[in-house]
Homo-oligomer: A and B are copies of this chain.
Amino acid sequence: MTSSLSDVQSSFPEPTTGQGPRSPAPGLTAAFDPERFHDGAAAIVTRLTRYLGDHSVRGLDLLDPAVLLKAARDLMTHETAHIADFDADRVNQIVDLYTGTGIPVYSPGYMGRQFSGVVPLASLIDLVGSVVNQPSSFYEAGQLPSVAERLMAEHLNHFIGWEPGRYAMVTTSGGSLANMTALLAARDRAFPQIWTRGAGGTPGPPAIAVSEQTHYSVTRAAGVLGIGERQIIRLPADSAGRIRPDLAGPALDEAHRRGLRPFCLVASAGTTAMGAFDPLEELAAVARRYGLWLHVDGAHGASLLLSDHHRHKLRGIDQADSLTWDAHKMLFMPAPCTLLFYRDAATARGAFRQRASYVFDEEPDPYSAYDSADKNFECTKRPMIMPLWAVWSVYGPALFAQKIDRLCEVTRQAADMIAAEPDFAVAHRPESNILCFRYRPPGLQDATAHRLQLEIRNRIRGGGRFFISKVDIDAVAALRVVVMNHLIDAGHLAMLIAEIRDIGQQVLRASAATGNDQRNGSHT
């Protein structure tokens, strides 16, 4: 060792004290100038304030990518040899293009997806985090974020009900990563040898049981982990999209007969398609009976725990082993901000099992107890907890509860209004803030109805006043609204219903005129 070190040193040139690098170029220093930051911030904040104040009913202005590509390219400096002179106008044009081409998430016309306009204070704290840049996998690097994780875990676990001192929570970059991490912990409990020996040597193929309605990230995780899609046991759901616990046992028995080794049951709270809540209490009993880890994908619906009116939908959550909870969905935070809870902290450490000397300390100290790098996938992790902790600290939990209550109420109202229309059909009674329905005048065949919904959805999007989504339910497309904006009211819903009917009738008339009478389903 010593000799090789001196070898390295002897190959060095003489020290060049006094001949070091020149000072950094003025253009480089100027790019980090605090005053430039200050002035730039003022211009941007003015624009964002105007953006936040625009509550006009708008959907999406979907641009031809080639047109947008050219516009964006034209905003790029051609200077390559030197640092380009700062051009405040160019920055403003970039910001205008950015704010102008997105889904207007603060508009009541936006009802399409599970992200939303965030609590503005969250964005400001996000800005602080972006500047102070404290990766929060290690206490050393992100002291306050590490502590804030602890505090938020405590406050949120109050609603979950796990044993203090035993549960654990880590933040991670999105629900997909949280679901995968939980599956890894579950796999490690059942097959601890896989981490070192690989997946090849298990007595039978490891398998997971999921709802027909499970999010694609769960089945994707099975592919990633080498479980294989064939080893995914699909548990039947009822017409509302909830796993039927009475059919779960037989499905698991059948899997065992096929030689599979199920180790995890993934329930949803709620599902992406319809916002349905699986019966957790009954499924916990199934999981116990079959020795399965119970993971609850509450990416969307775990936030309902904060509401006195809706908490009961997660009854049984205290019996789960792990829970995915996206704060960037129903806690209205900038994405991503996902919280992964474990009932038992000891199992959390099973997900990943490694050490690296440049980050992990040899001898744990008082600080390393607050490190999360042994429990989350990321090495460099954004301090995503900070916007949530700050908003919670300033406004308290009622901000979330009240907004959630309102969104669910408006969604129920939407279901009532649509159910009252003779040419519409709701697909389910909404359990949260997601509602699926169809424009379906009597007599349409399924195939025709399917194409009609897709066409309506695209024309609505093209019309630019509303933005809604679509989903297949029992192989027939349905329209889908996700009420994420507390400004949406019955007036907006009535406008949307009228617009859907107008478009639907236009489409049907046009088909009839071209001799392609969709009502008779002549084309399937």
Contact = CB atoms under 8 A, between A and B. Distances in A.
A281 interface: no
A512 interface: no
Contact of A352 (B31, B223, B413): B223
B219 A115 contact: no
Contacts of A2: 425
A14 to B, nearest CB: 8
A83 B180 CA distance: 35
B394 A86 contact: yes
A348 B31 CA distance: 35
Given A8-B428, A416-B16, A428-B8, A21 B409 contact: yes
A126 B131 CA distance: 10
Can you tell how many copies of this chain the complex includes?
2
A507 interface: no
Contacts of A429: 8, 11-12
A21 B358 contact: no
Contact of A380 (B49, B78, B115, B470): B115
A84 interface: yes
A498 interface: no
Contact of A80 (B9, B131, B398): B398
A471 B358 contact: yes
Interface residues of A, number: 214
Interface in A123-159: 123-135, 139-144, 146-148, 150-151
A520 interface: no
B406 A24 contact: yes
Interface stretch (A198-206, A247-255, A283-291): A198-206
A284 B41 CA distance: 46
A297 B143 CA distance: 28
B17 A417 contact: yes
A214 B9 CA distance: 24
A5 interface: yes
A13 B416 contact: yes
Given A37-B52, A367-B65, A131 B118 contact: yes
Given A15-B416, A335-B382, A146 B65 contact: yes
Contacts of A44: 124, 127-128
Interface in A381-408: 381-382, 386-387, 389-390, 392-399, 402-403, 406
B8 A393 contact: no
A202 B226 CA distance: 11
Interface in A222-273: 223-231, 239-240, 272-273
A11 to B, nearest CB: 7
Interface string A417-444: 1011000011111000000000000000
Contact of A51 (B31, B50, B117, B131): B131
A480 interface: yes
B394 A87 contact: yes
A357 interface: yes
A174 interface: yes
Nearest to A335: B380
A485 to B, nearest CB: 9
9 contacts: A27-B398, A37-B48, A38-B46, A65-B366, A84-B396, A91-B394, A199-B199, A223-B352, A357-B472
Given A33-B120, A34-B53, 14 more contacts: A8-B429, A9-B426, A15-B416, A17-B490, A62-B143, A63-B143, A82-B398, A95-B128, A102-B134, A115-B133, A116-B133, A123-B127, A224-B377, A335-B381
